[in-house]
Amino acid sequence: MNFVVLQFPASNCDQDAVHVLKNVLGHNACYAWHKDTSLGDADAVIVPGGFSYGDYLRTGAIARFSPIMQAVQNFAAQGGPVLGICNGFQILTEAGLLPGALVRNRSLQFRCENVFLKTENHATPFTQTIPQDKILRVPIAHGEGCYFADEETLAKLNANGQVLWRYVDASGQATEAANPNGSLENIAGVCNAQRNVAGLMPHPERASESLLGSADGLVIFESLVKWMGAKRAA
């Protein structure tokens, strides 16, 4: 499979993502610079974490208008899978590819810690190999990860199964204490109505090898690989 990982000025999780895809999973992974206009023969696109364009104006606001994002818009419109992680999630909401927005953490603190995630919908390209009832332990590192959407959008997300992950405690309960940033309904990640674009604030690429303390994040990339394999075979 060919993964393309985007690079904006001040992306900083791009190399981690490529490392996991290449060295842990054994797939092709290359970078696309923000000024590029083509994604080449990408099977999937990863929009990585970081502080693109210095987070100026709003997180993701300027990256969303870079030339490569036009290619991502076209790729997504044709059903290509796109996963945004942390700043990548922020960019995808700014681009209108995902509903809602990410705002300043309610605590005003930059939170850098492990969180627990419960998968809410297992029937998507990003979650299909995650075992039922498996609680994922994955790190977060952000100051603006508080998920917000208006009531109508939120109701739609819940009704359509577009909430993919919620912050929970170790026993799987979505408590206020388990919510690191004040996200509405403990939402950690969502997908679009077509299920081919997803974003999450936690960093699965930082938890894809047991040497790093957790390999729970790997299953998200494995889901994507399996889904693309089935799509290719079809």
Partner 1 sequence: MKAKIIITPKKAVVDPQGKTVQGALEHMGYQGVGAVHVGKYLEIELTGTDKEAARQQIDDACHKILSNPVIEDYRFEIE
Residues recognised as catalytic: 86, 203, 205
Distance CA 85, CA 138 (A): 12
**Chain-centre distance for alpha carbon 162:** 13
Nearer to partner 1, 88 or 100 (CB): 100
State which residue, 107 or 210, has the beta carbon closest to partner 1.
107
Q: Which two tokens stand for residue 109?
A: 């603190």
Report the C-alpha gap between 101 and 96 in whole angstroms.
9
Smallest distance, partner 1 to C-beta of residue 163, A: 17
Binding-site size, partner 1 (CB under 8 A): 20
CA neighbours within 13 Å on the CB side: how many for 205? 26
108 binds partner 1 (CB under 8 A): yes
Answer yes or no whether residue 101 interacts with partner 1 by CB under 8 A.
Answer: yes
149, 164, 168, 200: residue in contact with partner 1 (rule CB under 8 A):
149
179 binds partner 1 (CB under 8 A): no
Is 106 among the residues that bind partner 1 (CB under 8 A)? yes
- d(Cα 131, Cα 119) in Å, to the nearest integer? 9
Among 61, 135, 141, 215, binds partner 1 (CB under 8 A): 61
* Cβ–Cβ under 8 Å, residues 168 and 175: yes
Tokens representing 14 are 């791009």
Under the binding rule (CB under 8 A), the answer on residue 100 touching partner 1 is yes
Nearest-angstrom CA–CA distance, 120 and 187: 10
Residue 193 interacts with partner 1 (CB under 8 A): yes or no: no
Tell me: does residue 144 bind partner 1 (CB under 8 A): no
Segment lying near partner 1 (by CB under 8 A), choices 78-86, 92-100, 121-129, 201-209: 92-100
Q: Residue 65, interface with partner 1 (CB under 8 A)?
A: yes
Site for partner 1 contains 150 (CB under 8 A): yes
Strand-pair partners of 6 = 32
Asked if 172 and 133 count as a contact pair (C-beta separation under 8 A), the reply is: yes
Share of the chain residues as helix, strand and coil, in percent rounded to the nearest 5: 30, 25, 45
Q: 11, 49 in Cβ contact below 8 A? A: yes
Window of 48-56, 99-107, 172-180, 211-219 that interacts with partner 1 by CB under 8 A: 99-107
The verdict on 37 binding partner 1 (CB under 8 A) reads: no
Binding region for partner 1 (CB under 8 A) = 57-58, 61-62, 65, 93-94, 100-101, 103-108, 146, 148-150, 182
